[in-house]
Amino acid sequence: MESDRQRKVASVIQRDLADILRKAASEYPGKGLIISVSGVRITVDFALAKVYLSIFPPEQAAEILEGIKSNAPLLKHELAQRTKNQMRRVPDLLFYIDDSVALVEKVERSLKGADNPIDDPSLLERRKKK
């Protein structure tokens, strides 16, 4: 259970980090790169922040994530400069890919029948409870 303080700090980090990454993505040589911060979770002692990113196009997500991880100290410094009047200490940043959007899309395709895992719908009649 997160405290109000954890939620407030996570919100500040999410907003400022999203702005930092948006500017960095606009300078990326490939066109059409979109990076969004879908969530931030702060530990109880405010030492670590788990940052969940959605990256489009997803084919480049692993490569982009590695670049972001390698620049984590620089991102932390930039975040510290932006939040120096709001936070005493910026937590260490751990980055993860948020695959919840892809999971939701997969479930929706399955429900619509596009990727239906059951090849033989006639089997469903036999499985109904009587």
pLDDT of residue 101: 73
**DSSP 3-state assignment of 80?**
helix
* Position 70 confidence tier, pLDDT thresholds 50, 70, 90: very high
CA distance 1 to 41: 11
46: alpha, beta or left, given left = phi > 0 and alpha = psi -120 to 50?
Answer: left
Integer CA distances (angstroms), 6 to 39, 72, 77, 104, 119, in order: 13, 21, 20, 27, 47
pTM of the model: 0.78
pLDDT bucket at 122, cuts 50 / 70 / 90: low
pLDDT tens figures, 14-64: 999 999 999 988 887 777 888 999 999 999 999 999 999 998 888 888 999
Report helix, strand or coil for 66.
Answer: helix
Domain ranges of the chain: 4-113
The CATH architecture annotation of domain 4-113 reads 2-Layer Sandwich (3.30)
